[in-house]
Amino acid sequence: MFHSSMSPAPYTTSAGSSTASSSTSSKTTLQASPSPSPSPSPSPSISPSPSPSPSPSLSPIPPPSPTHQPRRTPFDIDHHLNPYLPTPRLHLLPRPLAHLLGHRPHLHHPPRTLLTTLLALLGTFTGLALATLLFHILPSLSAATDANPLIIASLGATAILLYSTPASPLAQPRPLLLGQAISATVGILITLAFRSLGHEEFERLRWLAGALAVAIAAAVMSFTKTVHPPAGATALLAVTSDEIIELGWGLVALIEVGCAAMMVVALVWGNLHKGRRYPVFWWTEMELGEVEEGVVEKEMEEGRGERVVVLPRGFVLSEGEREVLERIEGRVAAAAAAAAAAAVKGGMGVKVVP
């Protein structure tokens, strides 16, 4: 978008030509002196006036300052972590294995709705069944019983994300594994803190502890870019469910085992059709490792970032897609040039907002 701010001319004159008189004073006021009688000269005389006058005066208005105070860019943890993480090399793996891990050298049409629904059904059933089986055969992690919970309820919502919307940023491995682990840890810590007040006090304030656990978990996930909505239910269960509370720190182990099992199933059903892809990214959609010049982000004059489209390694655009991008680029460049030319011609400043 282009926002143009017009600065008024320093002074204006009426019909005819006007003559500006020079003045040696530091501050000059320009006034138009009307003639008391008809004068053969059609133009009004403009003369400096050292003292206030009831006549209308026109004062020059300074143009707006071209410099803008830079504003702080929002904090993004990936800007600090990504340069130290290795660049994924999925394209170097054998093609079947790379395909299973989400690598696509070419784009394909997504499957039809009926097939998408069938894959979601099979994935949800298989993923939850595998997680339940693992909970059953693992050694007991509960301090009160000799068996683990049948299933952790929040994994049901995770299954919907993984198998019905595999391309969602909220369903990728990073938010899936780290978001659930963070929420379970926060829930356990809040439970321990409130239980230290005594059993009766904990029961009386359990509603407050549950709300606080979900709120803190949401804040930490947002800060670390690991937002996974079903993980909010994990934090809540860690405070409100007696069966989950008895697990203690075993909750973190069980939730991670369940998520890992469901992610393995998602790698199978999410990549069975060439038009489906899981995961879209393992850590982030931005480039990892050394940042190439002009690829990730450019700081604008006001301190705001201008997002640049970054294609993953091995990602190939079709001719039609490339043509569309080139047309958009050409239109944006033409609009910017036209706005700049109009600004120069009309004497107005143009502000480009990313």
Confidence (pLDDT) at 70: 55
Q: Tens digit of pLDDT for each residue in 274-290?
A: 889 999 999 988 767 65
Residue 291, pLDDT above cutoff 80: no
| Average confidence (pLDDT) over 291-318 | 49
Cα of 97 vs its chain's centroid, Å: 30
Confidence (pLDDT) at 300: 35
Residue 58 lies in a domain: no
Closest to 245 in 3D by CA, of 296, 202, 295? 202
Instruction: State whether 213 and 114 are in the same domain.
Output: yes
Instruction: State whether 229 and 162 are in the same domain.
Output: yes
Instruction: State whether 140 and 257 are in the same domain.
Output: yes
| Average confidence (pLDDT) over 111-121 | 92
Residue 38 lies in a domain: no
Instruction: State whether 191 and 335 are in the same domain.
Output: no
Number of domains forming the structure of the chain? 2
Residue 303, pLDDT above cutoff 80: no
Confidence of residue 23 (pLDDT cuts 50, 70, 90): very low
Confidence (pLDDT) at 62: 56
Instruction: State whether 166 and 253 are in the same domain.
Output: yes
Angle between helices 113-137 and 154-164 (to 10 degrees): 140
**C-alpha torsion angle, residues 73, 74, 80, 86 (rounded to 10):** -100
Which of the residue ranges 68-72, 184-188, 312-316 has the most confident prediction, judged by mean pLDDT?
184-188
Closest to 123 in 3D by CA, of 163, 150, 158, 89? 163
Counting residues of the chain whose pLDDT is more than 90, the rounded percentage is 45
Instruction: State whether 321 and 245 are in the same domain.
Output: no
Confidence (pLDDT) at 107: 76
Cα of 279 vs its chain's centroid, Å: 18
Residue 232 lies in a domain: yes
Through-space distance between the first and last CA atoms of the chain, rounded to whole angstroms: 7
Look up residue 77 and give its two tokens: 């943890």
Residue 31 lies in a domain: no
Whole-angstrom distance, CA of residue 172 vs CA of residue 165: 10
Domain span including residue 322: 317-354
Q: Which residue has the higher pLDDT, 281 or 34?
A: 281
Look up residue 277 and give its two tokens: 């892809």
Alpha carbons within 13 angstroms on the beta-carbon side of residue 277 total: 18
Angle between helices 230-240 and 154-164 (to 10 degrees): 170
Residue 128 lies in a domain: yes
Residue 6 lies in a domain: no
Instruction: State whether 224 and 331 are in the same domain.
Output: no
Rg (CA), the chain: 33
Q: Which residue has the higher pLDDT, 307 or 152?
A: 152
Residue 178 is classified by DSSP as: I
Whole-angstrom distance, CA of residue 107 vs CA of residue 319: 12
Confidence (pLDDT) at 15: 41
Q: Tens digit of pLDDT for each residue in 156-198?
A: 999 999 999 999 999 999 999 999 999 999 999 999 999 999 9
Counting residues of the chain whose pLDDT is more than 70, the rounded percentage is 68
Instruction: State whether 198 and 342 are in the same domain.
Output: no
Instruction: State whether 170 and 248 are in the same domain.
Output: yes
Contact 287, 87 (CB under 8 A): yes
Instruction: State whether 106 and 226 are in the same domain.
Output: yes
Residue 86 lies in a domain: no
Whole-angstrom distance, CA of residue 128 vs CA of residue 159: 7
Residue 179 lies in a domain: yes
